Amino acid sequence: MTVIVVANPKGGVGKSTLATNLAGHFAAQGEWVGLADLDKQRSSHAWLSLRVDTLPKIEEWALDVDFPAKPPKGLGKAVIDTPAGLHGNRMSLALDLADKVIVPLQPSMFDILATQDFLTRLSKEKAVRKGAIQVGVVGMRVDARTRSADQLHRFVEGLDLPVLGYLRDTQNYVQLAAHGLNIWEVAKSRVEKDLEQWAPIVEWVDKK
Cα–Cα distance measured from residue 124 to residue 78, given in angstroms and rounded to the nearest whole number: 24
- Render pLDDT for 151-196 as a digit per residue (tens, 0 to 9): 787 887 777 788 898 899 999 999 999 999 999 999 999 999 999 9
Q: Where are the domains of the chain?
A: 2-206
Q: Give residue-wise pLDDT tens across range 98-140.
A: 999 999 998 888 888 888 888 888 888 889 988 899 999 999 9
Ordered alpha helix ranges (H), the chain: 15-28, 43-49, 88-97, 109-123, 126-129, 147-157, 171-177, 188-206
* Residue 208: how many other CB atoms lie within 10 Å: 4
Report the CATH architecture of 2-206: 3-Layer(aba) Sandwich (3.40)
Q: What is the pLDDT of residues 40-97, one digit of tens each?
A: 889 999 999 999 999 999 999 988 877 766 787 889 999 999 988 888 888 888 999 9
Name the residue among 182, 173, 103 with its Cα closest to residue 138. 103
- Distances in Å between the Cα of 158 and the Cα atoms of 56, 89, 139, 162 are 39, 30, 14, 10
User: What value does the mean pLDDT of the chain take?
Assistant: 90
